[in-house]
Amino acid sequence: MNGWKNYATWNVALWINNEEPLYRQMLDYIQTTENPTYKGLIQYLGFESSRTPDHVNYISNSLDYRALDAMVVESR
């Protein structure tokens, strides 16, 4: 799935990186956090119980958190 482990991981990364308001909030989070992580970002956004518009949970056992953590860190 475009280099991602599975559809769910790809989908949440897609929405965060391609929706400008979400992307800007991620940048704000990264700038104000010493050790940014994907789960930390989701808490910062208040999305713990939310889903993408494609109905994929932002927090799920099926997500590749290592890859998503790397996505967040690489956005610095």
Q: Are 69 and 14 in contact (CB under 8 A)?
A: no
1 pLDDT above the threshold of 80: no
Mean local confidence (pLDDT), 7-26: 97
**Residue 64: other Cβ atoms inside 10 A:** 18
Residue 42 is predicted with a pLDDT of 98
Q: Are 8 and 62 in contact (CB under 8 A)?
A: yes
In tens, the pLDDT along 20-52 reads 999 999 999 999 999 999 999 999 999 999 999
